[in-house]
């Protein structure tokens, strides 16, 4: 289905509409609702909501990078959830979607009952770090626009962050590549500029105020995000951190194990 929010048509998929409890999934950079299609069969007892974030998948890609600011994406999400009649729900996000999910939970306390963060962070702590990241993201955005999606995807999938995916079965790797290749280069570039890690504010200081159950999931082979999660869990009142023997994209590399852990956590806390 499509819902227009502040001039942008959002692509949304709703499954198991008759269920009482709702679970919302937010994908990562270069992802879409397709990210979660192989997992939804594990959550048939929940109403599932999948959506494409700004500039991704079948959601529109505005030309103005300022439209992609994290605070505007959060406003859009709140308006979308209101239009869908959601009051309280479980929210899960991966990587960029995890940053958005955490930021949403901090911005709209009382709306999220349980938060699941896969390979996510609260952003960068210092202004200097954010400035450096904005510069590198801006340069990458220029390369995406000038070189096109195919050229970008070829280099993106070779980054160390995704090195553990090289050993995945070919059908899985092909599916991941097709999802990335389906993206609009303008949308990807503007997403980096508007809501990249350097562009968003830091939510580190807000973690202590997040008084809901939070599950932090990281791959033990992903040193950077595992270290971030260990620091996050020490600051959050009701958070737990679990590791899976995988890299950055647990839902791809160890989908069944990922789904089992999330299901068990939801049963205990939602």
Sequence spans of domains, the chain: 2-123+202-269
Mean pLDDT of 212-228: 97
pLDDT in tens, 78-129: 999 999 999 899 999 999 999 999 999 999 988 999 999 999 999 999 999 9
pLDDT band, very low/low/confident/very high, at 167 (cuts 50, 70, 90)? confident
Look at residue 235 in the predicted model and tell me its pLDDT: 96
Question: Per-residue pLDDT for 242 more than 90?
Answer: yes
Summary mean pLDDT of the chain: 95
CB 51 within 8 A of CB 11: yes
Question: Per-residue pLDDT for 158 more than 90?
Answer: no
pLDDT in tens, 179-193: 999 999 999 999 999
Question: Per-residue pLDDT for 168 more than 90?
Answer: no
Look at residue 160 in the predicted model and tell me its pLDDT: 85
Look at residue 36 in the predicted model and tell me its pLDDT: 98
Both tokens of 163, joined, read 């090195």
Query: What pTM, to 2 d.p., does this model score?
Result: 0.96
Look at residue 153 in the predicted model and tell me its pLDDT: 87
Instruction: Please state the φ and ψ torsions of residue 166, each to the nearest 5 degrees.
Output: -65, -30
User: Which of 3.40.50.300, 3.40.30.10, 3.40.50.1820, 3.30.413.10 would CATH assign to domain 2-123+202-269?
Assistant: 3.40.50.1820
pLDDT in tens, 22-69: 999 999 999 999 999 999 999 999 999 999 999 999 999 999 999 999
Question: Per-residue pLDDT for 238 more than 90?
Answer: yes
For the chain, the three-class secondary structure string (H helix, E strand, C coil) is CEEEECCEEEEEEEECCCCCCEEEEECCCCCCHHHHCCCHHHHCCCEEEEECCCCCCCCCCCCCHHHHCHHHHHHHHHHHHHHCCCCCEEEEEECHHHHHHHHHHHHCCCCEEEEEEECCCCCCCCHHHHHHHHHHHHHHHHHHHHHHHHHHHHHHCCCHHHHHHHHCCHHHHHHHHHHHHCCCHHHHHHHHHHHCCCCCCCCHHHHHHCCCCEEEEEECCCHHHHHHHHHHHCCCCCEEEEEECCCCCHHHHCHHHHHHHHHHHHHHHC
Look at residue 212 in the predicted model and tell me its pLDDT: 97
Q: How far is CA 229 from the centre of its chain?
A: 15
Distance CA 21, CA 266 (A): 10
Both tokens of 75, joined, read 């406003």
Look at residue 72 in the predicted model and tell me its pLDDT: 97
Both tokens of 265, joined, read 């956590």
Mean pLDDT of 217-223: 97
CB 36 within 8 A of CB 73: no
């Amino acid at each position: 289905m499509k819902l227009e929010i502040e001039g942008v048509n959002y692509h949304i998929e709703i499954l198991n509409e008759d269920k009482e409890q709702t679970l919302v999934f937010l994908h990562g950079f270069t992802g879409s609702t397709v990210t979660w299609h192989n997992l939804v069969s594990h959550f048939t007892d929940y109403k599932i909501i999948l959506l494409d974030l700004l500039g991704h998948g079948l959601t529109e890609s505005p030309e103005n990078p300022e439209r992609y600011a994290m605070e505007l994406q959060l406003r859009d999400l709140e308006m979308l959830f209101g239009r869908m009649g959601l009051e309280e729900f479980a929210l899960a996000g991966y990587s960029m979607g995890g940053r958005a999910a955490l930021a949403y939970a901090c911005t709209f306390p009382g709306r999220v009952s349980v938060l699941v963060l896969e390979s996510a962070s609260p952003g960068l702590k210092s202004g200097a770090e954010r400035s450096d990241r904005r510069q590198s993201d801006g340069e990458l955005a220029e390369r995406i626009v000038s070189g096109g999606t195919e050229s970008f995807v070829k280099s993106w999938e070779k980054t160390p962050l995704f090195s553990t995916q090289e050993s995945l079965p070919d059908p899985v790797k092909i599916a991941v590549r097709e999802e990335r290749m389906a993206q609009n280069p303008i949308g990807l570039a503007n997403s980096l500029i508007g809501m990249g890690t350097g562009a968003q504010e830091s939510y580190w200081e807000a973690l202590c105020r997040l008084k809901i159950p939070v599950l932090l999931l990281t791959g033990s082979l992903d040193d950077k995000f595992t270290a971030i999660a260990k620091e996050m869990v020490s600051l959050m009142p009701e958070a737990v951190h679990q590791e899976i023997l995988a890299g950055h994209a647990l839902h791809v590399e160890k989908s069944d194990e990922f789904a089992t852990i999330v299901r068990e956590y939801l049963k205990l806390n939602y």
